[in-house]
Structure 1
């Protein structure tokens, strides 16, 4: 474990943040999802552009994917909170 991580909550936040891509665009911080999530969304975009799937289906799948993974990050934070209380 890193020396700068002092609590389980901080460890969970660090684990979630480690998977994100952060860019500095014109002096503003832009946080993108992990590369594998970007590839997934790009693949859906290509399928929709080639009319293999319809746009509303691609959007629905993307939203579901995002919700599923944001739930996972929240679970990590809640787990860290529970460890902190123990």
Structure 2
């Protein structure tokens, strides 16, 4: 029996996209990243770290992820052309 591996959501979008009323389609991060941000939010909610610190950590994580995503994509394109 073949297993369906597409990640369609209840709104019919692929790749974890949600349809938000004012924003339109918003892509959701993979579950491991959601867990990271949920844990960071939990630490801030429990008062173990301050909210501004949690926001700086989350922002730095997002910026680093975008940087490495571009680097990986560039390496992949260079390897395809070689």
TM-score range, shorter chain: 0.5 to 0.7
Q: Does the 8 A contact of 1:21 with 1:35 survive in 2? A: no
* Structure of greater relative contact order (alpha carbons < 8 Å, 6+ residues apart): 1
Alignment-derived partner of residue 78 in structure 1: 74
Deviations 1:31-79 (A, max 9, x none): 0111111111111111111111000110111011111211121112101
What 5-or-longer segments of structure 1 have no aligned partner?
1-19
CA distance in 1, matches of 2:75, 2:29: 21
Q: Which has a greater percent of helix?
A: 1
1:2-81 equivalences under 5 Å are 21-25=16-20, 28-81=24-77
What 5-or-longer segments of structure 2 have no aligned partner?
1-14
Q: TM-score, normalised by structure 2?
A: 0.68
Deviations 1:5-49 (A, max 9, x none): xxxxxxxxxxxxxxx6322445x3220111111111111111111
Q: TM-score, normalised by structure 1?
A: 0.65
